[in-house]
Structure 1
Amino acid sequence: MIRKRIVAALAAATLAAAGVVTAAVTNTAEPDVAPAAAAVPAFDHIVLVMFENKKASSITSSAAPYFTSLASQGAKFTSSFAITHPSQPNYVALFSGATQGVTSDSCPANLGSKANLGQQLIGAGKTFKGYSESMPSDGYTGCVSGNYQRKHNSWVDFSNVPAASNVRYSSFPTDYTKLPTVSFVTPNMCSDMHDCSIGTGDTWLKSHLDSYAQWAKTHNSLLIVTFDEDSGTSVNQIYTTFTGAHVKPGSYSESINHYTVLRTIEASYGLPGIAGAASKSPILDAWQ
């Protein structure tokens, strides 16, 4: 043991004399810990889909096997939280970095030209579209139509997001290379678990977005799955996962919220954080 220490000391001294700075090794038996990435990967495409009103502990392997499968394939954030209650201000917060004074689900919420992710992307030469299931027509601004509700469609509230960015989910491309830079997907009031079961939402996600999730892994793209809020508790803890290219699978315990997710998307495209996202650091430890 003494001989090994002498050899190591001599080697370090030799390197120091050559101008090489070495770090002390305190326990060579411990496994290496991969450092956090220096930056969020610059994704070709990001798709974010938002589900409704379920606390994180409800999304179990028995109730939601596909959600559980996605979590095992990618990064699962075990301390992810919504901003507030009820639904609408959370959608606004994730899209614009603030609740913008919205405190209820009342419609319409006309938020003018306040800064938001869609406007940021378009201004930077990127593209954005929001895809809403059961919306009756592209560019629709009405509050309710069947299982569609505008309160879950935040981009329509901002005058600086063009009507061409507000489209029906039926136009979501099957050729994923045709996707915009960033897409937000809003399932309808049944598919998103608001009016129907967790199992219904689980089946919808698998049938509609699993093919994109698998494609994303080899095409420099990302799927983000999250919830607007929990079931109404003061904790407001929600399921959030990242699946796709560059993702380092595992569970991540740092506390994140909708502003953190927004900041991470912005960072992928070199955009500054807006409003509440400006004070958040993007997620860096989930990339490889």
Structure 2
Amino acid sequence: MKKWHGTALRAALLVITAYPISVIAAAAPTTYSGVNLLVDGDGEAAACTPDWEAVTTVPGWTVLQGNPSAVCYSVGDFTTPSTPARGNAFIAAGPYGNSALTQTVDVSMASAAIDAGTTTYTLSGWLGGYEYYGAYTQVSATFLDANGLPLGSAAQMPTVTASQRNYSNAFLARSISNTLPKGTRSIMVLVQFLDSPDDSYNDSYADNLSLTLSTPVPAPVLTAPVSTVPKYDHVFLVMMENTSFDEVIGDTTDAPFMNSLANRGTLLMGYSGTYHPSDQNYLAITGGSNFDEGAIYYPNIHVTTANLGDSLEAVGKTWKGYGQGMGTPCNTTNTYDSEFEADELPFINFTDISNNLPRCQVHLFDTTQLTSDLQSAATTPNFAWLAADDYYDGEAPGDGSSLSLQVQDGWLKQTLQPIFNSPAWTSQRSLLVLTWDESSDPLAFPELGNHIATILVDSQGLVRPGYGSSVSYNHFSTGRTIEQALGLPAFTANDAYATPINDAFAPAPATPTSTTPTLTAAISTVPQGANIVFNYSTTSATSSATNWVGIYSAGDTPGSEASVIWQAVPTANGNVAFNTSSLSPGNYTAYLLYNNGYSTLAGPVNFSVSR
């Protein structure tokens, strides 16, 4: 946790101010032609980040890939078009390689005019990049019928190359206009931030994105994503350290308990951290922001805004942080444990707790206190943050190494089993979230997206068992899910507009309806750059941590030809999403494969990628 693996250390900010939630008027939408139908196409709906390494939520958009973020223009000297007036922010690829986001606009109110064949659209925006880097932004619109199926080819805005912007930090205006296809009922706008093959980082940007029609349609209103997270009596959160998804998931030799949790609950397969190094990831959950810039740790972080503890107390709920090796309540030194670090319990970074010793002492405890608190549901806090010391959280033994996994696995089994046996778990609604702060080396491999595992398990069967989700989530999503589970408000736009982890709680049959493995796709044609999503299920005999779904060119088969792209599916059932940016338009086939691809379980599933 206390390492800075990559770029030069930034200047320390000693007093932090949180990014506030934007106030968006909720007036009834007006209806007129020429209105921009894209919400937050300029990245101004929330506070931007002045830190290239930080991830933020971009309100109004659904993330399909990576970690696109709203970045302040103050990060560099950029040339922009003269109109419209430049704001404070632009939308960037984010710090972890290729990314993509989308919005789908309902235009069914204008169906009569559209079907008359006289309605036109204009898709426009500023597209930019950084110096000589070849990364570029691609913006397209796909016109969908009443069944959500594409009508013809997608319309694509012209891109901006490095040479067109004279190899400088610049944005150029781009647009495309045409007649809407008859039958259009919705329009999917897809923004892809794409890297050139020789670049390690993605330096592509967009601003002032706009979609307008020539016929009257309702103006959009920014709203937070819908939540289907159920209410819980207790939420337990555990954050381990510096371990990549692929290091822990599937390693049943070194990490049998952690993998058993993934099989018992829901595994998030598209989850990432929001920063590097560590502490900002902790703060993202407890305060809705990365807050600080660079490798700064306790006692040099002083967050003056509200935190999760404040929100819990405001609604009459109890909370505690349990830190291995803390010894006496609110001890901030390693007097009792040489590997103890106070900021493993992130509440200590908030001044209304760190500067109030009596308050701190009734909320931050050694993990030994947990045994007493679990004796009854009444003494078990509504929210508990559990933290191993710097050895047992996996950092000191080697950041995701075999030894690191073994010590993490042993500590988690010893610590979590008493929770599973407690009255709070057996008689009330309790939720466990197990996550990691960041991958073992996110800056060395940015294209991997700071990919970490996150597992949800609950006590009353509300979490899908053995389920794998490929939805793009991060620590802001976990913060929002905890807020929804315990009835708490959001802190900033980052958590307010983050997608809650809804599909972990979606209804699902207790047992597969089929006695054989299955692989299906909800749609058979997708525009290039969009996601193709497959639902899969296995049986008890064919479920394996080394199963995967592979995509093959039409006519190719597993064993005779190599897959074009593939992803592991280590859970018994779930969904897996493939971004089709790397797939040329044409026909493809998908298979569900067993035990590292040696046997076909299900398939073929045929689909096509359209231009």
Q: TM-score range by the shorter chain?
A: 0.7 to 0.9
CA distance in 2, matches of 1:210, 1:61: 18
Pick the structure with more helix per residue.
1
**Residue 166, structure 1, aligned to residue 380, structure 2:** no
- 1:190 is displaced (CA, Å) by 1.1
Alignment CA distance shift 1:176-1:254 (3 Å): farther
Mind listing any 5+ residue stretches in structure 2 that lack a counterpart? Answer: 1-146, 148-225, 354-358, 398-403, 508-611
Partner of 1:284: 502
CA distance in 2, matches of 1:285, 1:274: 23
CA distance in 2, matches of 1:211, 1:231: 29
- 1:285 is displaced (CA, Å) by 1.8
SS of the residue corresponding to residue 481 of structure 2 reads: helix
CA distance in 2, matches of 1:102, 1:181: 31
CA contact (8 A) 1:81 1:257 kept: yes
CA distance in 2, matches of 1:218, 1:136: 30
Q: Which region of structure 1 is more displaced relative to structure 2, 233-242 or 64-73?
A: 233-242
Q: State the TM-score, normalizing by the size of structure 2.
A: 0.40
CA contact (8 A) 1:141 1:150 kept: yes
Q: Which amino acid aligns with 1:61?
A: T
Partner of 1:20: none
CA contact (8 A) 2:284 2:475 kept: yes
Match of 1:49 among 213, 238, 247: 238
Partner of 1:242: 456
Match of 1:154 among 339, 342, 346: 346
Q: Which has the higher contact order (CA 8 A, sep 6+)?
A: 1
Match of 1:101 among 275, 286, 292: 292
Q: Which region of structure 1 is more displaced relative to structure 2, 89-98 or 134-143?
A: 134-143
SS of the residue corresponding to residue 503 of structure 2 reads: coil
- 1:112 is displaced (CA, Å) by 4.2
Match of 2:430 among 207, 218, 221: 221
CA contact (8 A) 2:326 2:340 kept: yes
Task: Percent identity, please.
Answer: 29
Pick the structure with more strand per residue.
2
> CA offsets per residue over residues 67-115 of structure 1, 9 Å max, x none?
0000000010001100111111111112111121252143303424312
Mind listing any 5+ residue stretches in structure 1 that lack a counterpart? Answer: 1-23, 25-36
Partner of 2:407: 200
CA distance in 2, matches of 1:237, 1:217: 32
Q: Which region of structure 1 is more displaced relative to structure 2, 183-192 or 278-287?
A: 278-287
Alignment CA distance shift 1:174-1:121 (3 Å): closer
Q: Which amino acid aligns with 2:350?
A: F
Alignment of 1:130-145 (within 5 A): 130-142=321-333
CA distance in 2, matches of 1:257, 1:76: 13
Q: Which amino acid aligns with 1:231?
A: S
Q: Which amino acid aligns with 2:369?
A: S
Q: Which amino acid aligns with 2:349?
A: D
> CA offsets per residue over residues 9-28 of structure 1, 9 Å max, x none?
xxxxxxxxxxxxxxx9xxxx
- 1:198 is displaced (CA, Å) by 0.9
Greater gyration radius? 2
CA contact (8 A) 2:262 2:455 kept: yes
Q: Which region of structure 1 is more displaced relative to structure 2, 71-80 or 93-102?
A: 93-102
- 1:160 is displaced (CA, Å) by 2.8
Corresponding residue pairs, total: 253
Q: State the TM-score, normalizing by the size of structure 1.
A: 0.82
- 1:40 is displaced (CA, Å) by 1.5
Partner of 1:31: none
Alignment CA distance shift 1:154-1:38 (3 Å): closer
CA contact (8 A) 1:96 1:117 kept: yes
